[in-house]
Amino acid sequence: MNWVAVNACLDRLSPVRCIHDDEVLTQHTWRDGDFIDAPRETEKELSLLRGDVSVADACAYRSRLSKISASKIAKAGRRQTTAGKIRAAGLAVVHTPGRVEGGPHVSVIWPPDDPIERQVTPWPGDVPKAFAACFNEGGEGGER
């Protein structure tokens, strides 16, 4: 079984439909302004967090620590969009909380048809550009 299928939520509406189009999604980066727009070489999906997640909270979530140094937070950043914008760009948004009941992790997957069972990488040329165009201008860094 693949990572997405193993980690998809058990919501009765399905891991795709439980995230509504108007739901805010946050992408975190450890270096403000340096966001990835496609899965890395060994990955099948891009990770985002559900909601208006602060830079500090995203740092804590990703490092699995409750206390992150102020200097590390100051270098980090975030940018936001909605699930609907990502879907309109031709990608799927899947709730993949893993073992954390109701956890905030979501996966962005291409192609959007049957994203639980099928994830194709690398993404074709225009897909990363379409993904990047879904976000607010520039993102936000530092302690927020």
pLDDT tens-place string over residues 71-118: 999 999 999 999 999 999 999 999 998 766 678 999 999 999 999 999
| Chain centroid, CA 112 distance in Å | 15
* Bond preceding residue 115 cis, omega within 30 of 0: no
Indicate the residue type of 8: A
CA separation (Å) from 16 to 5, 8, 23, 99, 128? Answer: 12, 9, 12, 17, 20
pLDDT grade for 6, boundaries at 50, 70 and 90: confident
Mean pLDDT of the chain: 89
pLDDT in tens, 17-30: 889 999 999 999 99
Determine which of 34-43, 76-85, 114-123, 133-142 has the lowest per-residue pLDDT on average: 133-142
Measured distance CA(38)–CA(61) in Å, rounded:
21
47 in helix, strand or coil? strand
